[in-house]
Each structure stands twice: as C-alpha cells, then as structure tokens.
C-alpha cells in the first residue's frame, strides 16, 4: 500500500479486510507493527486497534514492535449491535 492521492487507500483496505474477518466469525484481529512506523500505528489506532504488547527486537532488523489487537463485540453479549 502507499499514500498516493489522499484517498485513504490504507484505511479502506484495512476496513475491507476487517469486514471479511468479522463476517467469517472471527473474534479479533491481531497484527504487528514496528514501533517506529508512525503512519501504520496512527492508521491502526484510528481503526480501534489497541496496543496489547511490546515485542522486544521482534524483527530481524532488531526493531521492536507492537502487537495490536482489534476485538469484535460478541453477538451473544451485544445482540443489539448485530441486528440488521
């Protein structure tokens, strides 16, 4: 992905992937991002991901990472959210 015309390609691509995960019954999405990747961290934060864990020297380059999680509301606990 890359920032090209300001049309929020990263945001839209992530939203599409998250929607597919939600519709397939997943309970959460987990990913990792370098702690230095300000753009990605801002994007994931804006989408509601929480920083669940600091991963020390996670990448071969020696850079630390955040483990990020987006938790989906459970339909049995929050049925009003899942109503059509």
**Size of the residue set binding ligand COA (CB under 6 A):** 15
Q: How far apart are CA 26 and CA 19, in angstroms?
A: 10
Q: How far apart are CA 33 and CA 43, in angstroms?
A: 11
Strand ranges of the sheet holding 28-34, from the earlier edge strand across to the other edge: 28-34, 65-71, 50-55
Nearer to ligand COA among residue 28 and residue 79 (C-beta)? 28
Taking residues 18 to 57 in sequence order and writing x for each that binds ligand COA by CB under 6 A, - otherwise, the string is: ---------------x---xxxx-xx--x-----------
CA neighbours closer than 13 Å in the CB half-sphere of residue 41: 12
Nearer to ligand COA among residue 22 and residue 41 (C-beta)? 41
Residues of the shown chain interacting with ligand COA in the complex, contacts defined by CB under 6 A: 1-3, 8-11, 33, 37-40, 42-43, 46
């Amino acid at each position: 992905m890359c920032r090209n015309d300001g049309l929020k390609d990263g945001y839209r691509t992530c939203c599409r992937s998250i929607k597919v995960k939600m519709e397939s019954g997943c309970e959460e999405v987990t990913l990792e991002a370098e702690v230095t990747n300000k753009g990605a961290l801002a994007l994931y934060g804006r989408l509601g991901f929480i920083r669940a864990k600091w991963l020390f020297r996670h990448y071969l380059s020696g850079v630390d990472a955040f483990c990020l999680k987006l938790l989906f509301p459970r339909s049995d606990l929050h049925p009003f959210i899942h109503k059509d």
